[in-house]
C-alpha cells in the first residue's frame, strides 16, 4: 500500500510499505477515503516530537471497513466509519468513565494510545490506504452516506480536529452568554471557536497572526485579533469595553476580560513581536491577565514531556512558569489535556447529519496522497492559505 512516511525531520515521502494486516480477532481493516494532516503532525515533522521517523504518520482517518475480525459484533464489511485519534478499548477503567484518551490497555504501562504518534503504542499512522483498527467495536463510529459525498470532509474532522475543538469548549463548560478568547487559529482553534458558538457564547475572540486564518475566524463569527498588531490582551479588553460599557447592564463596573480562554497552540507558540521566533511564556501570561475572576481556562494545544529544541532549559523538561498567584487570586479553573474523542464524536456526528454543524468550513485543501510532501512543507510554513489539508488516498 502507498503511505506517507516521515523519513527524517522535514523529510516526508510517499512510498510503498507492507499492507496493514489483521492481528487480533477484535480488529478491522479500514480502506481510507480521507485522512487529514494535523498541527500535531507538524511537531513531528519539525523534529520536536521524535520517535516515528521511518514510519507512517497521521492519525485522522475516515474510510470503509474492508475486513472484519471474528470477534467484532458492531461493524460489518462495507460500513463507513471514522475512528478516533486516541485508540481506546472501551472496557478499561479510564474508557468506562469517558476518559478514552487515557485508555489503559491499548498502550500498556502508560495511559493513552494513538496512530502514527510518538510514545503512543507504536501504532502505524493513518495517512495511507489501509489501516488496522484495534478494538473495532469501541473505535469505529458508524456514519451514513457514501465516500466523496457532502459529508466527507465533515466526517474526517470527527477523528480529531472537531472533537478536540469541541472538547476545549466543553471541558470549561462554555455556555450561553460566555465571552471566549481562543489563542491559535489552526483547525483546532477555529473549531474551538465554532464549538463555542454552537454552545451559545456571546462573543468569541480568536488570536493569531496569519491573515487567512484570522479571516476564517471572522467567517465563523469570532472577532479576529492579530497579536502582531498590538498587545492582544489590550485589544480584547478594548473590544469588550465597546459592547459592555459602564452602566449598560448593572451598576458595577463590568469586568474587562473574558469568562473563558482556550490555548489551542501548545508548546511551539510564537513570540509576540516576531513570528519567526518561539516564546510560549507570554500566552499563559496573557490568558492569566485576560481571564475574569472565576473564569475557566482550557489548554488543548500539545505539551510534550521533553523538547530538546525548546528556547529555554525549563521548557526542555516540559516545565512552564505560570503566574500562579494571579490565577489563584482570580479563582480560575484550569483544565487541560488530550481530547477524549469518544465523549463527543457520536454527538458531533449527529449534528453534522442533521445540518446543525458544518466543521468542513475550516478545510482549505483537498489533495491526493502523492501531494503530501508539498502539503507538509506549505502547511508547516503556514503559506498559501494552508489551514487544514485533507488527503484523498
Ligand atoms: N489536546 C488534543 O487532544 C489535541 C488534538 C489535536 C491537536 N492538538 C494540538 O493542538 C494544537 C493546534 O493544532 P492545529 O492543528 O490547529 O495546529 P496549527 O499549527 O495549524 O495551528 C496553530 C496556530 O497557532 C498559531 N500561533 C502560534 N503562536 C501563537 C501565539 N503566540 N498566539 C496566537 N496564535 C499563535 C499559529 O499561527 C497557528 O495558526 C497543536 O499543538 C496540536 O498538537 C491537541
Ligand atoms: Zn490531529
Ligand atoms: Zn480503555
Q: What is the pLDDT of residues 163-196, one digit of tens each?
A: 999 999 999 999 999 999 999 999 999 999 999 9
Ligand 1, atom 19: closest residue by C-alpha: 39
Three-class DSSP category at 131: strand
pTM here is 0.98
Query: Counting atoms of ligand 1 from 1, which one is nearest the CA of 341?
Result: 3
pLDDT value, residue 311: 94
Distance (angstroms) between ligand 1 centre and the Cα of 306 equals 18
pLDDT tens sequence across 213-257? 999 999 999 999 999 999 999 999 999 988 775 556 667 777 899
Grid cell in block for residue 278:
518561539
pLDDT tens sequence across 12-33? 999 999 999 999 999 999 999 9
d(CA 156, CA 147): 11
- Average pLDDT, stretch 320-334? 96
Would you say residue 268 has pLDDT above 80?
yes
Ligand 1, atom 43: closest residue by C-alpha: 40
> What does each C-alpha distance from 251 to 186, 246, 248, 257, 290 come to in angstroms?
39, 8, 8, 17, 22
Ligand 1, atom 10: closest residue by C-alpha: 301
Q: Are 103 and 87 in contact (CB under 8 A)?
A: yes
d(CA 8, CA 252): 58
pLDDT tens sequence across 39-85? 999 999 999 999 999 999 999 999 999 999 999 999 999 999 999 99
Q: Which residues contact 325 (CB under 8 A, 6 or more apart)?
A: none
Mean pLDDT of the chain: 96
> What does each C-alpha distance from 234 to 18, 189, 237, 259, 290 come to in angstroms?
54, 20, 5, 16, 9
All domains of the chain in start order, with CATH? 2-160+340-392 (3.90.180.10), 165-336 (3.40.50.720)
Amino acid at each position: 500500500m502507498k503511505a506517507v512516511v516521515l523519513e527524517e525531520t522535514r523529510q516526508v515521502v510517499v512510498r510503498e510499505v507492507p499492507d496493514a494486516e489483521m492481528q487480533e480477532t477484535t480488529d478491522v481493516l479500514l480502506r481510507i477515503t480521507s485522512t487529514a494532516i494535523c498541527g500535531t503532525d507538524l511537531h513531528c515533522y519539525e523534529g520536536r516530537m521524535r520517535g516515528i521517523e521511518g514510519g507512517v504518520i497521521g492519525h485522522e482517518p475516515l474510510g470503509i471497513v474492508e475486513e472484519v475480525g471474528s470477534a467484532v459484533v458492531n461493524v460489518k464489511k462495507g460500513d463507513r466509519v471514522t475512528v478516533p485519534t486516541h485508540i481506546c478499548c472501551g472496557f478499561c477503567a479510564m474508557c468506562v468513565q469517558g476518559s478514552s484518551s487515557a485508555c489503559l490497555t491499548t498502550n500498556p504501562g502508560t495511559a493513552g494510545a494513538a496512530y502514527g504518534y510518538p510514545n503512543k503504542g507504536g501504532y502505524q499512522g493513518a495517512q495511507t490506504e489501509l489501516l488496522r483498527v484495534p478494538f473495532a467495536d469501541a473505535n469505529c463510529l458508524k456514519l451514513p452516506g457514501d465516500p466523496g459525498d457532502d459529508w466527507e470532509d465533515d466526517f474526517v474532522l470527527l477523528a480529531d480536529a472537531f472533537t478536540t475543538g469541541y472538547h476545549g469548549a466543553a471541558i470549561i463548560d462554555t455556555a450561553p452568554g460566555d465571552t471566549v478568547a481562543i489563542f491559535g487559529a489552526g483547525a483546532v482553534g477555529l473549531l474551538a471557536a465554532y464549538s463555542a458558538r454552537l454552545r451559545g457564547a456571546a462573543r468569541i475572540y480568536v488570536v493569531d497572526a496569519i491573515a487567512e486564518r484570522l479571516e476564517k475566524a471572522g467567517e465563523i463569527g469570532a472577532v479576529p485579533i492579530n497579536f502582531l498588531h498590538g498587545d492582544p490582551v489590550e485589544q480584547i479588553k478594548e473590544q469588550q469595553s465597546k459592547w459592555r460599557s459602564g452602566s449598560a447592564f448593572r451598576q458595577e463596573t463590568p469586568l474587562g476580560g473574558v469568562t473563558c480562554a482556550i490555548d489551542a497552540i501548545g508548546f511551539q507558540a510564537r513570540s509576540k513581536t516576531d513570528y519567526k521566533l518561539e516564546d510560549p511564556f507570554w500566552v499563559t501570561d496573557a490568558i492569566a491577565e485576560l481571564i475574569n475572576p472565576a473564569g475557566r481556562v482550557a489548554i488543548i494545544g500539545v505539551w510534550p514531556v521533553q523538547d530538546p529544541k525548546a528556547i529555554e532549559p525549563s521548557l526542555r523538561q516540559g516545565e512552564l512558569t505560570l503566574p500562579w498567584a494571579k490565577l489563584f487570586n482570580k479563582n480560575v479553573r484550569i483544565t487541560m489535556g488530550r481530547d477524549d474523542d469518544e465523549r463527543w464524536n457520536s454527538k458531533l456526528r449527529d449534528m453534522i447529519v442533521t445540518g446543525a454543524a458544518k466543521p468542513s468550513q475550516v478545510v482549505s485543501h483537498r489533495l491526493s496522497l502523492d501531494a503530501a510532501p508539498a502539503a507538509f512543507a506549505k502547511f508547516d510554513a503556514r503559506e498559501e492559505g494552508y489551514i487544514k489539508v485533507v488527503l484523498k488516498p
